[in-house]
Amino acid sequence: MKLLISNDDGIFAQGIRTLANTLADAGHEVSVVCPDRERSATGHGLTLHKPIRAEAIDSIFNDSVRAWACSGNPSDCVKLALGALLDEWPDYVLSGINHGANLGTDILYSGTVSAAMEGLMEGIPSIAFSLASFSHQDFQPAADFAVSLLDHLQQQPLPEATLLNVNVPAIAAADIKGVVWTRQGVRRYVDLFEKRVDPRGKTYYWLAGEVLEEVEQDLSNIPGFASLDGKTEELQHILTDVQAIHYRCITITPLQYNLTCVAGLATLSQRNLKI
């Protein structure tokens, strides 16, 4: 298959090198377009007020991999690849392997997920891969799973307009307990702003976030789930991505770019508003 790979950790990140080289070794035609430096937590940001530059790279990846380093954000990279750099559009857009998990509400900020979402918005099936650790250095189990997952999807393609968000526990492959289809969890953070003073006496702030807990959703009280043919209880018992990672499982969460709140629409559409 023809594969486009991007990330938000930058061209020199070990995760994208392992993913691209492993997929190329498996016989796929791989192109890489990713930021020239780390662009984590940029979400779906686009570069609109300055030019975007792309430089061909030939010293980082396997010889069969075509690669460019882009001055923009992850979403810029995928847009540029599809609109200017690639001769043919890929069969899949992949993003990662991110150094750190993208679980629960993390995906709202994630450049990794946004790069994959950019492919999906162009009608290309897409997958985001993350390793659930900021310190662990062995990306090979996640890359090997990417090969297996693509083999599976060649036989059983994704439903239309579906993105897969994959998180792999940072443990040896032999210790991974299995693969679990999950729903997106909700994680609550406390934002910490450290106040500092620069050498010129000007105040600035450094943002750090700390996870407090995962917030469990009670699906049974959401009106929109009444349309799921009585499967509300079944969905309630599907693990969240955060829970499944704790059980040392690979998590796969199907996502979409349509953010319509079905539950809210079902309730609010009954209101009679007047001008």
Which position has the higher pLDDT, 41 or 162?
A: 162
pLDDT of residue 190: 65
8 A C-beta contact, residue 147 and residue 202? no
Owner of token pair 């059983």: 156
8 A C-beta contact, residue 46 and residue 80? no
pLDDT of residue 194: 82
Closest CA to 82 of 55, 121, 44: 121
Express each pLDDT in 205-235 by its tens digit.
Answer: 877 766 655 555 554 444 444 444 444 444 4
Structural domains in the chain, CATH included, are: 2-182+237-263 (3.40.1210.10)
pLDDT above 90 as % of the chain: 67
Q: Rounded mean pLDDT of 110-117?
A: 96
Interatomic CA distance for residues 83 and 65, integer angstroms: 19
**Helix then strand then coil, % of the chain, to nearest 5:** 30, 30, 40
Q: What is the DSSP letter of 11?
A: T
Which position has the higher pLDDT, 107 or 212?
A: 107
pLDDT of residue 210: 63
Express each pLDDT in 42-96 by its tens digit.
Answer: 888 888 899 999 999 988 999 999 999 999 999 999 999 999 999 999 999 999 9
